[in-house]
Amino acid sequence: MFATIDRVVLGANRVAMIAALAAMSAIVFVNVMLRYLTSESIVWAEEVARYLMIWMTLLGIGPVLRVGGHVAIDNLQDAVSPAAARLVRLAIVAVVLAFCLFLVWVGWRFAQRTMVQTTPVLEIPFGWVAAAIPVGGALAVWHLLAVATGFVKERRFEQSDEMHGNEAGSL
């Protein structure tokens, strides 16, 4: 059951990141082309691209975490016994989990407070932009829990082919 839900969450997370990147790229490309070809530009393009970048970045925290893509300092766990290294990794998971939960809590409060403010050009509530913080934090919690056992026990992350739903080593 967890594996099925995990595939759905990961797939939806990846589709949202891809859609944000595609939309951002298309908007910026069209805006640049219009600027050079017509000396006009889309008034809202920069603002939308910026907000899509914010969403894409925060949505990407979890999937990058799953493959061990964030910056890590491994010296301590390399220098201690295997049992102590597992304790270090457990502490790492606890700290990362606490930080992600903090993102959810603070981000939710920030998004609520900024619902009354509007963005300069689009004039939408800024809280919709700020909602990327708790959403990204909550997804990071999910993704962390999905890899926590393998990381703590064996210092193992998912491989990119596992994230695609393929068996290891298959194309």
Residue 170 lies in a domain: no
Residue 128 lies in a domain: yes
Residue 34 lies in a domain: yes
H-type alpha helices, 39-131: 45-59, 61-66, 75-79, 82-113, 127-130
- Return all residues near 144 (Cβ < 8 A) that are at least 6 apart: 62, 65, 93, 96, 97, 100
Rg (CA), the chain: 20
Task: Kindly indicate the confidence band of residue 169, based on its pLDDT and cuts at 50, 70 and 90.
Answer: very low
Whether 162 shows a pLDDT value over 80: the answer reads no
How many domains does the chain fold into?
Answer: 1
Residue 169 lies in a domain: no
DSSP code, position 41: -
Whether 89 shows a pLDDT value over 90: the answer reads yes
CA distance 12 to 90: 28
Residue 137 lies in a domain: yes
Q: Read off the pLDDT of residues 96-138 as tens digits, 9 standing for 90 and up.
A: 999 999 999 999 999 999 999 999 999 999 999 999 999 999 9
Amino acid (one-letter) located at 61: I
Residue 168 has a pLDDT of 45
Residue 139 lies in a domain: yes
Task: Kindly indicate the confidence band of residue 166, based on its pLDDT and cuts at 50, 70 and 90.
Answer: low
Task: Kindly indicate the confidence band of residue 165, based on its pLDDT and cuts at 50, 70 and 90.
Answer: low
- Return all residues near 90 (Cβ < 8 A) that are at least 6 apart: 152
Q: Read off the pLDDT of residues 52-83 as tens digits, 9 standing for 90 and up.
A: 999 999 999 999 999 999 988 888 989 999 99
Residue 171 lies in a domain: no
Q: Read off the pLDDT of residues 26-58 as tens digits, 9 standing for 90 and up.
A: 999 999 999 999 999 999 999 999 999 999 999
Residue 168 lies in a domain: no
Domain span including residue 93: 2-163
CA distance 151 to 130: 31
CA distance 23 to 31: 12
